[in-house]
Each structure stands twice: as structure tokens, then as C-alpha cells.
Amino acid sequence: MLKQRLITALILISLVVWGILSLPLVYIAAVFALIILIGAWEWARLSGFEQFPVRIVYVVLFALTLWQLWEIRDQSRMTSTTAYIALAWWLLALVWLSFPTIGKVNSVVVRVIKLCTGLLVLIPAWLALISIHEIPGQGPYWLLYTLSLIWIADSGAYFSGKTWGRHKLAPKVSPGKTWEGVLGALVLVAVYALVAGIWANFSNGPLFYFILASLLMVPVSIIGDLFESLMKRQAGIKDSGALLPGHGGILDRIDSLTAVLPMFLLILLRTGFA
């Protein structure tokens, strides 16, 4: 299983790096929009809707929303507003995670609420990704840093958790995650941010805050991961899909990014890093 995961991950990472550095923004937006639409298809299932008509209508709603946002996007106003909406949502999601029995009742109202949360999870992430790529000068590199930051955090959490994991992080939501895994992610991200900051020629003060901002993305990524895990647990399924060999569905791969992308964009918009 690990070998299959590594092969799939290497192929996907190579394609992502090539695409971000080589493709025009419109193609990047289109490819990630497709990923988001697949994620929406999977989210409808997590929300308790297995019926094809409901899921296809949900995906079409997403497609229309993404198209409209592409047409009216504005780097300074709409983008920051969406990022703040995402911040409010992920704070609410943290409260939800603190009470994991919320939403466990399989009623129509609860399922519709979960459908609505899918919009708050996926739409801001798409807009944040293209907005980071649009940052003048170094946008593609900032986007690569954001993505690679989560890859590094995930790897640190996975291997340290496997090796030293003893104390459960959220046993009622995701029994496999441990505090040792969190520590491993923080250590690896700190080293990675230090190297990246030195390479970017940050002076001591900005370097410290850059590392701090990068470390902040670790708990943010964990919240994104745990919330998708909670949705899967309440839906009674192991993976969001079976599209990626050894990795499950699209949501299983982008769950952390859905939280990190808008939050890191907010940091870039409100600091002098970019």
C-alpha cells in the first residue's frame, strides 16, 4: 500500500509542479475547477445523498459558481472577502469538531446543511489557489510553497505518527492521528520554512514571522483533514472515493488544502511577504 501511495504521490506532484510553473492561469484554474467538481461529487455522497440526480445538480451548481467567480474575481476585494468567509467557516468547523456528534442524525435538514458546508469548504479553496497564482512577480512560486508546505506537513505527520504515535489526537473523529504526528509535522515544516525563508533572503524579523505563519498552517491543515474525516465517519465510509490508487478520492487528497489555501492567502494579503 505504501509503495502504491508513493508512486501515485510522485506522479501527481510532478504534474502539479510542471503545471503551476508552465501553464497559463486559465488552464490551471480549469484543471483545479475539475478537481473541485469531482470533490463536490464526492461531498454530496458524504452529505448523505447517493442519488445521481441530486449529485449532478450539486456539481452543476458548483460549476456555475466557479464560472461566475472567474468572471467577476477581484484581487483586492472579492478575494479577501472570500478568504475572511473561509476563516469564519473553519473556526466554526473547529467548534463542530469539538462536538463530533453534531450532524450525526440522518435527517434531510442535516444533509442539506452538509451540502452547504461543501460550498464553504471547496469554493474558497479554488478562488484562493488562482489568487495566489496571480500575485505579481512570484505568484506561481508562492502557490508551490503553499502546496509543498502541506505535502511536507502530511509526510512529517504520517511517518512520525507511524513510528512514535502513542497519544491519540482526535479518537472520536480520526483514530489514526496522534499528537506525535502533529509534532513531526511541526518540526519538518519549521525546517522547511527556515530553508525557504533563507533562500528567499528574508532578514531575521521577517524570517521569524514567515516561519511562524508556516507553522500556523499545520493546525489549519489538521482541521481541514479532521473535518473531512468527520464527514466520512458520519457517512459510514472509509474513503471519499476510489479515483486515486492508494489514496482514495479527491477529497482525501485535498482536505488539508481546502483549509490552508484561503488562510495562507489571507496571510499573504495582510503581510509584506508577497
Which own/partner pairs from 178-184 qualify as long-range (CB within 8 Å, at least 24 positions apart)?
A: 181/156, 181/157, 182/157, 182/218, 182/219, 182/222, 184/156, 184/157, 184/159, 184/160
Helix (H, G, I), strand (E, B) or coil at 169: strand
Backbone angles phi, psi at 171, to 5 degrees: -60, -30
pLDDT over 90 at 9, yes or no: no
**Closest to 153 measured CA to CA, from 217, 199, 196, 209:** 217
Domain holding 37, by residue range, is: 2-270
How is residue 61 annotated by DSSP? H
Instruction: Summarize the confidence of residues 266-274 as an average pLDDT.
Output: 81
How many domains does one find in the chain?
Answer: 1
Q: Output the pLDDT for position 123.
A: 95
Task: Name the helix (H) or strand (E) containing 168.
Answer: strand 168-170
pLDDT over 90 at 203, yes or no: no
Give the pLDDT confidence of 55-114 residue by residue, as tens digits: 999 999 999 999 988 888 765 577 888 899 999 999 999 999 999 888 888 889 999 999
**Closest to 235 measured CA to CA, from 38, 11, 50:** 50
Backbone angles phi, psi at 211, to 5 degrees: -65, -40
Q: Are the C-beta atoms of residues 62 and 37 closer than 8 Å to each other?
A: yes
Residue 38: band (very low, low, confident or very high) from pLDDT cuts 50, 70, 90: very high
pLDDT over 70 at 8, yes or no: no
Q: Output the pLDDT for position 204.
A: 78
Residue 18: band (very low, low, confident or very high) from pLDDT cuts 50, 70, 90: confident
Q: How far out from the chain centre does Cα 78 lie?
A: 20
Give the pLDDT confidence of 119-172 residue by residue, as tens digits: 999 999 999 999 999 988 889 999 999 999 999 999 999 889 989 989 999 998
Q: Output the pLDDT for position 106.
A: 82
Q: Report the 10 Å Cβ neighbour count for 9.
A: 17
pLDDT over 70 at 244, yes or no: no
Q: Output the pLDDT for position 219.
A: 97
Integer Cα distance of 143 and 66 in angstroms: 19
Integer Cα distance of 225 and 255 in angstroms: 5
Among 197-201, 232-236, 245-249, 270-274, the range scoring the smallest mean pLDDT is: 245-249
Q: Output the pLDDT for position 2.
A: 54
Give the pLDDT confidence of 177-201 residue by residue, as tens digits: 999 999 999 999 999 999 999 998 8
Q: Going by DSSP bridges, is the β-strand pair 168-170/174-178 parallel, antiparallel, or unpaired?
A: antiparallel
What separation in angstroms does the CA of 87 have from each of 36, 62, 73, 260? 19, 20, 19, 10
Q: Output the pLDDT for position 27.
A: 94
